[in-house]
Amino acid sequence: MKTMKKRMNHWIAFFLSVLILLQNAIVFAAEPSAEELLLDDPVSDTSLMCDSNGWGVAPVGWNTWVTVGCESAQNVLYANGAEAYASYAAQGFPDISRAEIRIVLENSVFAWSEANMETMIKYALYESADGKNFNKIENVTVNKIASADSGKKTIFATEAHFAKGMKHLKIMPRCTASWAFLLTRVRLYGKRFDYGSIGSLYKTHAEMFDVGVSIEPTQTEKYKDLIVSQYNEVVIENQMKPYCIHPSENVYDFSGADAIVEFAQKNGLKVRGHGLVYEKIFPAWFTQNADGTTASYDTVMKRLEDHVRTIVRHFKGKIYCYDVVNELFGHVGWDIRDLAKIVGPENLIANVFQWAHEEDPDAILILNDNYYDIPSKRQLIFNTVKKLIDQGVPIHGVGFQDHHFIDTDTVDIDAALTLFEQIPGLKLYITELDVRAYESQDTTTIYPDYMNEELKELVARKYASMFDVYRKHADRIEAVDLWNITTRESWTNTLVDGRNNNFANLFDDLAAPLPAYERVIDTKGELPRWDGRTMPARIRNNNYIIDDQRDVIKIKGTAAGDVTASLF
């Protein structure tokens, strides 16, 4: 009997183990592949317009960076004793593992055999992790998917598999003959980057202050994973500025701001409205009559009240905080434009804050400005804010834009925050934070690419020191909001022609974390900060490595090994 029971127990155990294996097999079979479509860039075959004597005509819109990530200067690749290429990347910092490439070969000169075409493609693919230093893929697997001859054109498709870690694909034909081909479709497959794996800006500072970022409606899906993992607040970057939301007297366009609010609500993010009354960029109609003459005080005040009340009423309960007045103060004294000339700066502030408060009593209303590191400017703002609060104006907080340069002194940042903490109950916001790799008075220098790593490190150290100051004042700071989500989107790229290496943000062109990101989440101060020994970058004539001990030049053109020379 015991033996029979024992056998039965063995059979039961066996069947249970088989059942568990079957269940696991079903689960694994149901799980989707880790590989997913990262980029799908289709172009119509009919757009091929080239001959044997010149460049083809690229389809309209090809030269712009679109959501899917095309960064090609030409999609028609023409070889006539010269080289051309198309370069692709997928936003969101993924690893690209496979590419499908569809090509139309133009046969007006002579026909290429499929074997030649396959060889050409196989050895004309290049990969890169940084978008600059491309290496030829020697051992890429190329599978011919299909080919078809349609008279003048041969349609050819190929599939290539890549090693882990590839970020960019470059397609470059090499031939001295006169022929051309058109890329008609490029698909990139791989695995998207897991932003949660690197930490989280807002979770790191959850006990101190919120962390947010400014965005545009076109960026919500493109950078969704980044935004949701790193921030718990978004700022309406441009869509609430007067020229966007109130372009003419009786026309309001809420579409852009509404899209950001909807995205935030779906993802549990807070929203701060920016530029409600931004004097510098009000449309001309706001302060003029139909004949172009200056409008009267009463006319302008009526338009201003309608502007403020209509917008705040529209977003009541959806936007928790507004930059009600933006950049009304200059580096010296008031920054008076047409609007403030007509109604008076203090009168403007008092009225717009009151109107906004009446429309949404629960909203936090702040006065936002820049360059608080200038002592006379921060004192004027302090005196004005304290005076108006004492008069009963509902100013709930002050915004420090904090668009900084590499030579900004953190002592001045600390002094500005300390000054405004003297006003009881006043909330402090860091509203538009970024840090440029250049010095504040330098508008001509353009650092060469070989200095990029040093620039990134210097910016990282400055960010680290500034966040140390913010954490020191965490009991009064409500939020720290970064300006622009990646270096590709950064407004700093437009300030000086050719200066695209400010590295002013926490994420690079492909949305990969820069050294500054790691420094910001280093709350223990274990990584290097900006200190009295740190200096802004200086251009040298050769490439060099920089460390904490000394600068070392790597002599270019050496045959083997590193020939170095100290800069001492």
Amino acid at 327: E
Q: How far apart are CA 398 and CA 168, in angstroms?
A: 43
The pair of structure tokens assigned to 329 is: 């103060």
Amino acid at 494: T
Rounded-to-5 percentages of helix, strand, coil across the chain: 35, 25, 40
For the chain, the farthest-separated pair of C-alpha atoms sits apart, in whole angstroms, at 110
Q: Which of 106, 127, 327, 489 is catalytic?
A: 327
Q: How far apart are CA 146 and CA 186, in angstroms?
A: 15
Q: Which of 499, 470, 500 is nearest to 487 (CA)?
A: 500
Residue 432 falls in the annotated catalytic set = yes
Residue that has been written with the tokens 């001045």 in this structure: 412
CB 71 within 8 A of CB 188: no
The pair of structure tokens assigned to 231 is: 């921030």
Q: Please, which residues have CB within 8 angstroms of residue 484's CB and are 6 or more apart in sequence? A: 213, 214, 237, 434, 490, 491, 492, 504, 505
Q: Is 554 exposed, middle or buried (0-12, 13-18, 19+ CB in 10 A)?
A: middle
Region at 476 (left for phi over 0; alpha for psi -120 to 50; beta for the rest): alpha
The pair of structure tokens assigned to 405 is: 């340069």
CB 369 within 8 A of CB 329: yes
Q: Which of 220, 212, 266 is nearest to 239 (CA)?
A: 220
Cα distances from 7 to residues 1, 16, 17, 21, 429, in angstroms, run 10, 14, 15, 21, 73
CB 501 within 8 A of CB 488: no
Q: Which of 330, 227, 314, 250 is nearest to 276 (CA)?
A: 314
Q: Which of 473, 323, 455 is nearest to 401 (CA)?
A: 323
Q: Which of 189, 224, 163, 226 is nearest to 508 (CA)?
A: 226
CB 554 within 8 A of CB 562: yes
Residue 478 falls in the annotated catalytic set = no
Q: Which of 106, 127, 432, 454 is catalytic?
A: 432
The catalytic residues are 327, 432
